[in-house]
Chain A
Amino acid sequence: MPNDIWQGAEACAKGAMKAGLTYFAGYPITPSTEIAEMLSIYLTEKGKIYKQMEQEKDHVRNVIMPKVLQRVFMQMEDEIASIVSIVGASMAGAKAMTATSGPGFSLMQEGIGYACMVEAPIVICNVMRGGPSTGDPTKGSQGDVMQTKWGTHGDHGMIVICPDSVEEMYYMTIKAFNLAERFRNPVILLTDETITHMREKVEIDPNAEIEIIDRLQPTILPNIPYLPYGTFKDEVAIIGSLGSGLGTSITGMIHREDGFQSPNFKIGSPLIRRLVNKIEKHSSDLFEVEVINGEAENLVITYGITSRTVKSILDSNYKNVGLIRLKTLFPFHDETIQKLTKNAKHVFVAELNLGQIYLEAQRAIGHRIPVTLISKVGGQLITPDEMIKHLEGSIS
């Protein structure tokens, strides 16, 4: 509502609840811990229970408590337990999420790959901080971008979305869940310390209706065997939840249509291709961008907190510069970038790393026009003045 001020972490937690989160498992790690702390309150409806307890004990016992008991908040013993437990929860029917940062995100890679292979809808919020290694826990960075796509081994698909404001964090969290349910794949909500910790005005009505997508359930027909990995919608498997008693068999190995492990070429080759293709074929729809002043000769491609720097320059009518803000990082759609930069004379890629989306943009654009990296690492944001200096340095 107007004049509400939310924190980024709060927006993420509230968005998750709105999307239907029923299972959160995480491990404390700066700067993502606030998301876990807030969800530990929201999932247990602590506020509601205390408020209503005075007047409506029966309502609390009969209506609220059963709902609360269906939700789970777990602080696990480490990030590996966190990621694998959300995969388990998801395959048992829950909408599941975790939140972490660099070192935890690295630990989670095997679990993320497992989710890709078994087709588990899960959401991972990675709040980027200074790396590598323990790095700079309380400063933002954008150093994990490539890791989101390639961190886990083997060929796999990944969807990575990146908000640039607290308000967008709310809607993108919901979108992350919807995409996870639709594609039965992990979706990474990629943000950074600045956006997660900052507070800004939001105009969000938490009670407004919003589209929520749920995974498809299998139709069981008499005399037709149930094949968890043999029935598809748009190349996404339609799998019954564990606990439905259908005999769902799940494994991280190459598997046949009935879910039994079967590592051989005839099965592995089409399986791997399907897991990647089910997402790749929707690249052009999934790759969302925001364009401001797209006809300018000089275009800055950026994402997340760095876009705020560019937006503040454009707000002050800085001439001849436009913004292509990536709301989706992966799947990266080359043709969209090519189309958007068709008439540009110079493209810049601005990021808080030493060139990660820069590699994607450079590949897409080729040698047609110069593509210049504007980078800053070490824990500070690119200021508007620095951005202008970079742009002027290259504008003739």
Chain B
Amino acid sequence: MALAPASDNASTSPVVSVEDLHVLFTTPDAVVHAVNGVSFALEAGSVLGILGESGSGKTVTLRALIRLLPAQRCRVEGRVTVAGHEITSLSETALRDVRGTKIAMIFQEPMVALDPVFTIGEQIAETIVRHEGAAHAAAWRRARDLLEMVQIPSATRRLKSFPHELSGGMRQRAMIALALSCRPAVLLADEPTTALDVTVQIQIIVLLRQLQRELGMAVVFVTHDVGVAVEVADRLAVMYAGRFVETGPTETVIERPAHPYTAALLTSTVLGAVSGHRLEAITGTPPDVSLLPMGCSFAPRCRFAVDACCAATPPEFVLEPGHSTRCHRVAAGEIQLTRPGLVERASA
């Protein structure tokens, strides 16, 4: 592959650093607290998976990292630093230079994210010309190399294809090529495999992991699918009602969950279930983020909740280096969470 790792990766300081991020949306009826104090740091070359259900704030967190949220209707508080640039205070002009070269994003629906009236080649070449001032012919050659890098067959011919002429998996590969065209240090991925069939999904996962290793990128991968998160992420952050309720290495979080929500998510899904027996479902529904309860947001659905849970929002308790939870009962050793017995997949 022709691409060298981005230069910012040389230092050991984190390439993404988020401190106490809050995002509020103001509507005529209510103020929606989408993100309520998210902090994390991500080293170059590592993959953070943000796992959460719809409305948990995972996509809003991701969009705040590249400042794609509508400025008129929402308020972003906290510090977001990406590859040495403070995203929250950049001017629009400076932001345009950072997007694409330092940080790029891929989306769930490539058909919506790609421009339908330009060919794949034109879209990639335009990006390279804009950011690197390359000559048109050189940019076009780079575009072909990029399509080969994402394993699109007959790349030269595909450069002249419009998005609607490609299959779903090929479109997703083209979008990855576009996002990587200017060697970003950080790639944001917003459920990029959710709309794909399972045999295509695994191809995209394997490709993303391979490119991430080869290019030394940091990746923030948002998904609602535990299986996908396990396949891609080095570290997991489980998100609920706008907060990271548990963070830790993927193995630790899956094998020894330390928050009742994580444990329930793992045991309530069909992954841990015996065929035909009732699931240990989480009761109730995810909270309305315009009317968050006092204290721990999960308390109304938690079978371990006591009065103290509703008194104050639990802080982050560090259980061991790199593994933390926002459950004071787990931190105090008062409750034992069931470890999920995951079904092994059929050997093929």
Does chain A bind chain B?
no
User: A-side interface residues toward B, CB under 8 Å?
Assistant: none
User: B-side interface residues toward A, CB under 8 Å?
Assistant: none
